[in-house]
Amino acid sequence: MKKSFSIVFVVLTFLTTFQVQAEEGNMSGKKALVAYFSASGVTAGVADRLAKAIGADLFEIKPVQVYTDADLDWRDKQSRSSVEMNDRASRPAIASKVGNMAQYDVVFVGFPIWWYREPSIIDTFMESYDFTGKTIVPFATSGSSGIGDSGKNMQALAPNAKVLEGKRFAKGVPADELKAWASERL
C-alpha cells in the first residue's frame, strides 16, 4: 500500500512538473526573456513571434529619443544613426528597464543590423544589467547582411555573460523555424 502510494506520488510530481514546463513554453525549464530594439517594426515582428513561440516574456528596448526617418538616413554622414555608429563610445539612452532581470536564465536580444553590427543602443542595453551566469542569444534582421561581429561586440560589453554568436533572420521567418532555433539554445 505504502509502495503504491509512493509510486503514484512520484508519477503525479513528474506530470505536474512536465505540465508547468509545457505551459511556460519550453521544456528546459529555463526562464527566457526576448528583449528587442526596432526602429521600423521589422525586428519587433520577429521578436513577438519568437517570444510567443517559446513562451518567453517580451521587452522593447525603447530609446528616450525616438529615431526619426532623418535620424535613420544611412546615406547622410551627419544623420543621428551615422554619427552614433561612427562613435564606438556612443550609448543612446533607453527609456525603461527590465523589471527583474535576475529571474531570467536566457536573454534573446534582437535588433536591426546597422552598419554590419548591433546598433549603439544595444551596447547601452548590454552595459545596463548584471548578466552574470546568463546566456545572451543575439538575433537580428537586416536588408541582407549577416549578424557579423555583433555577438563578439556584445560579449566584450558583458564579460560575465555567455554571449552566443546569434543569427540574422529574414523579415517573414516562420514561428516554427524560430522555435526550433531557440529551443537548441534554451
Ligand X SMILES: Cc1cc2nc3c(=O)[nH]c(=O)nc-3n(C[C@H](O)[C@H](O)[C@H](O)COP(=O)(O)O)c2cc1C
Q: For residues 92 and 136, give the distance between their C-alpha atoms in angstroms, rounded to a whole number.
A: 20
| H/E run at residue 18 | helix 2-24
169 is a contact residue toward ligand X (CB under 6 A): no
- Alpha-carbon dihedral 120, 172, 74, 157, rounded to 10 degrees: 10
Binding region for ligand X (CB under 6 A) out of 6-14, 89-97, 100-108, 113-121: 113-121
What mask of x and - would describe binding to ligand X in positions 137 to 166, judged by CB under 6 A? ----xxxxx---------------------
Nearest approach in angstroms of CB 37 to ligand X is 7
Count residues binding ligand X (CB under 6 A): 20
Q: For residues 81 and 8, give the distance between their C-alpha atoms in angstroms, rounded to a whole number.
A: 61
Q: Which single residue is written with the C-alpha cell 535588433? A: 111
Q: Which of 3/77 has CB closer to ligand X?
A: 77
What mask of x and - would describe binding to ligand X in positions 56 to 95, judged by CB under 6 A? ----------------x-x------x--------------
Contact present, 36 and 60 (Cβ < 8 Å): yes
Q: For residues 141 and 173, give the distance between their C-alpha atoms in angstroms, rounded to a whole number.
A: 10
Q: What is the Rg, in whole angstroms, of the alpha carbon atoms belonging to the chain? A: 19
Nearest approach in angstroms of CB 141 to ligand X is 3
Q: Which of 66/93 has CB closer to ligand X?
A: 66
SS3 content of the chain, % helix, strand, coil (to 5): 35, 15, 45
Binding region for ligand X (CB under 6 A) out of 9-17, 49-57, 100-108, 111-119: 111-119
